[in-house]
Structure 1
Amino acid sequence: MQKLTLLLSLLLITGLLQAQTRQQAVTDSLARKAREILAEAEAALGSDSTIALIDSLLAAPATDLSKKSQLALRTSYNSNITSAGRPFEVGKYGLSGGATYYHRSGLFADLSGYYSQQYDPDYFLTMTSVGYMYTRHKRWSLIGEYTRYFYNLSGSSTYVAYNNNFTVTAFAEIKKLNFRLDYSFYFGDKQAHRLMPGIFLNIQKRNWHKITRISILPSFYVLAGTEQVTTQVPLAKTILGMIFRQRHGLPLFETQTHTVYGIMNYSLSLPILVTVRNWTFNTSYTYNIPKALPGETLTTTDGGFLSLSITRFISMR
C-alpha cells in the first residue's frame, strides 16, 4: 500500500512538473508577445525618424526656428517588424502615419497611428507624445519626450507590459561627425531601461538641380538594456520534499522576478534624406546584429530591413 501511495505521489508530482513546464511555456510566449508589441513602438521611435526631423528643422537658420513654428505630416513603411534588432515577423510589413507640431519655443506634440499585418485588428496602436527640443546651439541639441501608448488589441495573449515611455536624446556635432546618446525608460506593469549610444556622419549636398538638399547619414548604434524575467522556482530540493509538500497541501513553486542587463543589439544604418522645398523623403536600410541578454535564448539571426517615409513640413506663425 505504501508503495502504491508513493507511486501515485510520484505520478502526481510528474504531472505537476509537466503542468508547470507548460505554464512556463505560456508565460514565455506571453513575454515574447509583449516584446513583439513593444517592437512596433520602438520602431516608431526609431533613430532615422528623429534624425530626419532634427535634420529638417536644423536646415533653417536658428533665428527662423525661434520665430516660426512647424507642422510635420508624415507617413512611413517598414519592410518587417523588429525590436532591439530582433525580427519577429519577417515579411510582415508595418505602416504608420502621424503629425508633429513643433512650437518655436521648442515645445512639441505628436500623434501617431500604426498598422501591422501581424495583429488583429490590423490598426493596433496609437501614440501620443509631448516634449521639448533644444536646437539653438550650433554644436549640440537635446530632446526630452514623454510617450503614451494606446493599444487596440484583443485576446488573452496580448498582454502589454509597457504603456509609457520617457526618452532623453542628446546630439553633438564635430564638423561632419555626429554623436548621439539615447536613454529610454519604459514603464507600466513592468519596467525596462534602454541606453543607445551612436555615431553617424552627416554628408550633405545642397541646391542640386531642383533638390534643396541631400543628406546621407551612415550610422552605427549599440543598444543596451534591461528586461524583467519571471521564472517558477521549486520550493523543494528533492523528490521526497516535493511529496511532503504535496501531501500537506503546500505550494511546490514560487514565482521569482529578476532583472537582467546587457548588450541587446548592434545596428548599422544608411539613411538617405532628400529634401525638395518643404518635402523630405527618407529611405533607409538597417542591418541588425542581435545579442542575447544573460539567460536569454534568441531564436533570430542577423538581418536587415528597409524603411521609407515621406514628411511634409508646414511653416506656421
Structure 2
Amino acid sequence: MIRKYRNTIFYLLLAASFFAFIPLKAQDTDSLLLNDDVSLELIEEYLAFDSLLLAEMTSDTSSFNDILESLIRSAEMPANLMLRLGYTSNIVNAGRDFGFQQHGFSTGLSYYHKNGFFADIYSYWNSNYDPSFNSVTASLGYMHFVKNWTFSANYDHIFYNKTFEEGLEIQYPFNNILNASVFYDVWKLSIGLDYSYLFGNQQAHRIRPTLMGSFNVLKRPSHRITISPFANLLLGDASIVFSEQRYTYRQLIQQIGWGRFLILYRNNPELINEIIFEEYGQNSFGLMNYAFTLPVNYYAGSWAISLSYTLNFPVALPGENINTESNSFLGASICYTISF
C-alpha cells in the first residue's frame, strides 16, 4: 500500500537527505600553508574530509530511490521531469556536528521514465565554503519492481568546482559512487537496505538500514498534507589515526645527546614530537549514526512543499575520538513536476 503514498515521502527527504552530508570547509586552506611538507599533508587530509562529506551525502540514496519508485509507478505519462530547490539549516557528516555554523542550498533536475530508467543532476551551495558553489553531481540509474519488492542501482559522479589552491592541484579522493538498494513494502511501511561504495583515490563503504512510513493528515481533491516519518542507521568505515609514544624525553636525550636535543628543541620542536610519538592509521568499521526524521508535506497539483526535522545520535567508531552529543537540523524543499 505504501507505493500509493510513496511520493509523499519524496520531496522533503530530498531536503533532509540531500543536505545531510553537504561538504564543509573545516578551516581556511591558506592557514594550512605553513611549509611545503606540512601544508601538503594537511591539505590532503582536508580534501579527504571534504570529499567524503559530499560523497556520503550523494550516496544517501534511500529517499531518492523511494521518490523514483513512487513517480515511476504512478506516472500517467511515459516521461516526467522534476525541478527542485532545497535548504538545510545545518550541515553534518554521518550525523556528526563539528561545530561549524553553516547552512546550505541545493538545486536539481531529474528525469524519470516508466520503464525504470532515471537520470539526475544537482548542485550544492555551502555558506562556509570558498567558492560557495561547490560541486555538481550527475547520476544514472535503473529501478525494477517485483510485487512488494523494489530493486535499484545507480552510479554517481561528482564534478568539483575547485581544482587548485595557491598553485597546488587539488585531488579529491572520492568522486565516484556506486549505489544499490532493496525495499519491501508492507501496509503503509517500507523496510529497506541501501549500500554505497565510494571510490576514487581512496575508497569507503556505507550501509543504511531504513524504516519509513507515509500517512495522510488531510486529503482533498485539490491538495493534501502528509507526514512521512522514517528512521535509519548508518554503518561504515573510516581511517582512524592513532598516536603512540615510542620514547620518553629522557630516552631521546640518552640516544642523541643533550647538545643535539637542545638544538632540535630550539629550532625544530615539531621534529622532536615526530620522533617521540609515532602515528599510524587503522581502518575501523561499525555503527556511525542513527537518525530520526519527521517530514510534513503539502501537495497541490504539480507543486510540493515540504518541511522536515532531523535528529541525529552519532556513534564513535572503535578508536575514534568525536563529539557524540545529539544534534538536529531543519530542512525545506519545493518541487515542480512536468509530465510529457
State the TM-score bracket (shorter-chain normalisation): 0.7 to 0.9
Q: Does 1:161 align with 2:170?
A: no
**1:150 paired residue number:** 159
- Which secondary structure does the structure 2 equivalent of 1:82 belong to? coil
Q: Output the CA distance in 1 between the equivalents of 2:143 and 2:65.
A: 12
CA distance 1:33–1:89, shift in 2 (3 Å): farther
Pick aligned residue for 1:262 from 271, 286, 299? 286
Identity of aligned residues (%): 32
1:213-292 superposed matches below 5 A: 213-230=224-241, 239=252, 243=256, 256-292=280-316
State whether residues 206 and 237 of structure 2, in contact with CA within 8 Å, keep that contact through their aligned partners in structure 1: yes
Aligned length: 284
Alignment partners' CA distance in 1, 2:38 and 2:286: 23
* 1:39-67 deviation per Cα after TM superposition (whole angstroms, max 9, x unaligned): 34433554685166236416727xx4xx6
Cα 1:230/1:26, change in 2 over 3 Å: farther
Amino acid at match of 1:260: S
Q: Partner residue of 2:321?
A: 297
Q: 1:43 to 1:307 in 2, by over 3 A?
A: farther
| Corresponding position: 1:54 with 2:68 | yes
Kindly report which structure 2 residues correspond to 1:172-211, keeping only aligned pairs within 5 A, or say none: 172-204=184-216, 207-208=219-220, 210-211=222-223
Q: 1:308 corresponds to which residue?
A: 332
Q: Is the 8 A contact 1:39 1:81 kept in 2?
A: no
Question: Kindly tell me: are residues 159 and 80 of structure 1, through their superposed partners in 2, closer, same or farther at Cα, counting changes over 3 Å?
Answer: farther
TM-score by length of 2: 0.72
- SS of the residue aligned with 1:83? coil
Picking from 56, 62, 65, the partner of 1:42 is 56
CA, structure 1 residues 310+96, in 2 after alignment: closer, same or farther (shift >3 Å)? same
1:287 and 1:132, CA in 2 relative to 1: closer, same or farther beyond 3 A? same
Distance in 2 (CA, whole Å) between partners of 1:264 and 1:179 is 20
Is the partner of 1:88 in helix, strand or coil?
A: coil
**Cα drift, residue 103 of structure 1:** 2.3
Partners of 1:186 and 1:314 in 2: CA distance: 32
Equivalent residue of 1:43, what SS? helix
- Measure the CA separation in 2 of the matches of 1:41 and 1:162: 6
Distance 1:86 1:233 in 2: 26
Aligned residue type for 1:115: W
Between stretches 34-43 and 90-99, larger displacement belongs to: 34-43
Quick check: 2:315–2:324 contact (8 Å CA) kept in 1?
no
In 2, the alpha carbon distance for the partners of 1:262 and 1:51 equals 24
Amino acid at match of 1:311: C
Q: Distance in 2 between matches of 1:91 and 1:157?
A: 28
Per the alignment, do residues 271 and 49 of structure 1 end up closer, same or farther by CA in structure 2, a change over 3 Å counting? same
SS at match of 1:299: coil
Asked if 2 retains the 8 angstrom alpha-carbon contact of 1:284 and 1:308, the reply is: yes
Equivalent-residue separation in structure 2 for 1:278 and 1:59 (angstroms)? 16
Task: Look up the match of 1:9.
Answer: none
Deviation per residue, 1:72-104 (Å, 9 max, x gap): 111111111111111235531100101111122
- Residue matched to 1:129: 139
2: CA distance between counterparts of 1:124 and 1:52? 26
Q: Deviations over 1:140-184 (max 9, x none)?
A: 212211111111234369763211111112211110121121101
Matches within 5 A, 1:73-152: 73-88=83-98, 90-134=100-144, 136-152=145-161
Q: Which runs of 5+ in 1 are unaligned?
A: 1-22
Distance in 2 (alpha carbons) for counterparts of 1:236 and 1:52 = 55
The structure whose RCO (Cα within 8 Å, separation 6+) is larger is: 2
Instruction: Give 1:95's aligned amino acid.
Output: F
TM-score (norm 1): 0.76
Higher gyration radius (CA): 1
Gaps (5+ residues) in structure 2?
A: 1-36, 261-273
When the two chains are superposed, the root-mean-square deviation of aligned CA atoms in Å is: 3.4
